[in-house]
């Protein structure tokens, strides 16, 4: 009986121990494979992280750069050939910052309004476009019409000025005036990078008479904050008088250098100095731009005063002052000196 039971008892004990050892080996094998596989995975190098950071910085810099070009606005002009055909050229800015484009559009329309009178044109167009409109169809028409682009909107707003310009040309020719009248308005990007992006709007016109007229206006923008920068934004607190004093000294030097008068005091009896809010951060200093007849006669053109950055320390905010030393001095690798005991 004992011999018949022992084999039955011994066999189950041997199978259970064997299974436990097999399970243990399998678990160890899986763990080792997991460690080996994880070791085979590529590790992130510091150089890769730096490259990704540089790429992100480059993308951000591209987004914060003002890019675009001037595009001509098409208007209806009569067919003409010869040397005295009227010339009407208006361009608008198309950039990657639509809010800047719209701001420049407003200034273009403002300049046209100062040059031309469109009151008669608007009255005639209003009288011609007042037929009764069926209210039930107006909503459907609006819903089915395609959205109007900024370029098309600008074209619609400029068209009355173009027609006023054509009418003026007809009136001058009826008076036997052999003049070629013209209007040119063109924006262009001067500075596209931080701290300030700058667009200049050049305007010139000749509508008969002794001479034409021209203007140059700068528009400065903070791309990060999406706002236009005025001259006061550049200044440290309570420094407006200091800037005005520096500009007045530049004005005196300009009067004498241009030989506009023998004495500045006498000159200012006719042409008083004033601080312009039309500015540009130039390469050498702050440029104050003036228009015709602002601080001088027509023969003086479009005067500009330049105040060197070296004179503006403590007046302009630090972010608007260039690092002139770093820009002008080359980088020299000098050997390290031991500290003196």
Q: What pLDDT is recorded for position 302?
A: 97
Beta strands in the chain (DSSP E): 68-72, 87-95, 182-191, 197-206, 213-222, 227-229, 279-281, 285-289, 304-308
Q: Which sequence spans correspond to the domains of the chain?
A: 59-126+150-229, 230-321
Residue 195: cis peptide before it, omega within 30 degrees of 0: yes
Mean pLDDT of 292-313: 97
CA distance 131 to 333: 80
By mean pLDDT, which of 32-41, 45-54, 163-172, 188-197 is the weakest?
A: 32-41
Report the distance separating Cα 235 and Cα 242, nearest Å.
Answer: 10
Compute the distance between CA of residue 248 and CA of residue 262 in angstroms, rounded to an integer: 17
Buried (b) or exposed (e) across 83-119, using 16+ Cβ within 10 A? eeebebebbbbbbebeebbebbbebbbebbeebbebe
Sole residue written with tokens 């002009």: 77
Rounded to the nearest angstrom, the gap between the alpha carbon of residue 202 and the centroid of all alpha carbons in its chain is 16
Please give the torsion angle defined by the CA atoms of residues 139, 142, 145 and 151, in that order, rounded to the nearest 10 degrees. 180
pLDDT confidence tier of residue 63, bands split at 50, 70 and 90: low
* Mean pLDDT, residues 60-86: 87
**How many angstroms separate the first and last alpha carbons of the chain?**
100
User: Given this model, what pLDDT does residue 193 score?
Assistant: 87
Q: What is the pLDDT of residues 228-256, one digit of tens each?
A: 999 999 999 999 999 999 999 999 999 99
pLDDT at 331 over 50: no
Q: Quote the pLDDT of residue 39.
A: 54
Whether pLDDT at 27 is above 80 = no
pLDDT > 90 in the chain, percent: 61
- 152's CB contacts (< 8 A; 6+ apart) are none
DSSP string over 288-340:
EE--TTTSS-GGG-S-EEEEEGGG-BTTB-GGGS--HHHHHSPP--PPPPPPP
> Which pair of structure tokens corresponds to residue 60?
């951000």
Q: How confident is the model over 111-130, as a mean pLDDT?
A: 70
CATH code that applies to domain 59-126+150-229: 3.30.565.40
CATH placement of domain 230-321: 3.90.640.20
Specify whether the CB–CB gap between 118 and 160 falls below 8 A: yes
Is residue 274 within 8 Å of 294, Cβ to Cβ? Answer: yes
pLDDT in tens, 314-327: 999 999 998 753 34
DSSP 145-179: SPPPPHHHHHHHHHHHHHHHHHHHHHHHHHTT---
> Full-prediction pTM beyond 0.95?
no
Angle CA 194–331–323, to nearest 5:
30
Q: Is 59-126+150-229's fold the same as 230-321's?
A: no
Mean pLDDT, residues 17-21: 51
Confidence of residue 53 (pLDDT cuts 50, 70, 90): low
> Can you tell me the distance from the alpha carbon of 186 to that of 217, in angstroms, rounded to the nearest whole number?
11
Contacts with 154 (C-beta within 8 Å, 6 or more apart), sequence order: 73, 92, 105, 108
Q: Which residues have a Cβ under 8 Å from the Cβ of 179 and sit 6 or more positions away?
A: 84, 172, 206, 208
Q: Is the pLDDT of residue 36 over 50?
A: yes
Answer whether 190's CB lies under 8 Å from 263's CB.
Answer: no
Residues 143-178 have pLDDT tens digits of: 456 788 999 999 999 999 999 999 999 999 999 878
| Contact between 121 and 167 (Cβ < 8 Å) | yes
Tell which phi-psi region holds residue 82, choosing left (phi > 0), alpha (psi between -120 and 50) or beta.
left
pLDDT at 132 over 60: no
> Which letter, b or e, does each residue of 246-274 get, where b requires 16 or more Cβ atoms within 10 Å of its Cβ?
bbbebbbebbeeeebbeebeebbeebebe
């Amino acid at each position: 009986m004992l011999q018949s039971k022992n084999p039955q008892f011994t066999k189950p004990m041997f199978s259970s121990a064997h299974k436990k050892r097999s399970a243990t080996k399998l678990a160890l094998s899986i763990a080792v494979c997991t460690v080996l596989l994880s070791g085979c995975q590529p590790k992130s190098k510091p150089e890769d992280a730096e490259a990704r950071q540089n790429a992100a910085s480059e993308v951000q810099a591209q987004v914060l750069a003002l890019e675009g070009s001037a595009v001509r606005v098409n208007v209806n002009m009569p067919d003409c050939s010869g040397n005295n055909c009227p010339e009407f050229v208006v361009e608008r800015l198309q950039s990657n910052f639509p809010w800047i484009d719209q701001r420049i559009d407003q200034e273009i329309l403002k300049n046209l309004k100062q040059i031309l009178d469109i009151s008669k044109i608007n009255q005639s167009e209003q009288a011609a476009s007042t037929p009764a409109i069926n209210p039930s169809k107006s909503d459907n028409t609006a819903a089915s019409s395609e959205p109007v682009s900024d370029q098309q909107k600008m074209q619609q707003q400029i068209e009355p000025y173009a027609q006023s310009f054509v009418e003026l040309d007809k009136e001058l020719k009826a008076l036997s005036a052999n003049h070629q009248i013209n209007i040119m308005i063109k924006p262009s990007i001067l500075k596209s990078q931080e701290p300030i992006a700058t667009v200049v709007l050049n305007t010139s016109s000749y509508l008969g008479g002794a001479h034409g007229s021209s203007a140059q206006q700068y528009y400065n923008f903070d791309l990060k904050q999406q706002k236009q920068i005025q001259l006061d934004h550049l200044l440290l607190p309570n420094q407006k008088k200091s800037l005005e004093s520096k500009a007045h000294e530049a004005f005196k030097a300009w009067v004498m250098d241009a030989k506009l008068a023998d004495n500045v005091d006498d000159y200012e009896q006719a042409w008083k100095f004033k601080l312009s809010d039309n500015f540009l951060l130039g390469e050498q200093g702050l440029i104050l731009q003036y228009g015709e007849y602002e601080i001088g006669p027509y023969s003086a053109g479009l005067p500009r005063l330049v105040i060197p950055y070296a004179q503006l320390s403590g007046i302009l905010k630090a972010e608007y002052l260039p690092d002139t030393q770093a820009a002008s001095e080359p980088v020299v690798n000098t050997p390290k000196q031991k500290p003196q005991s």
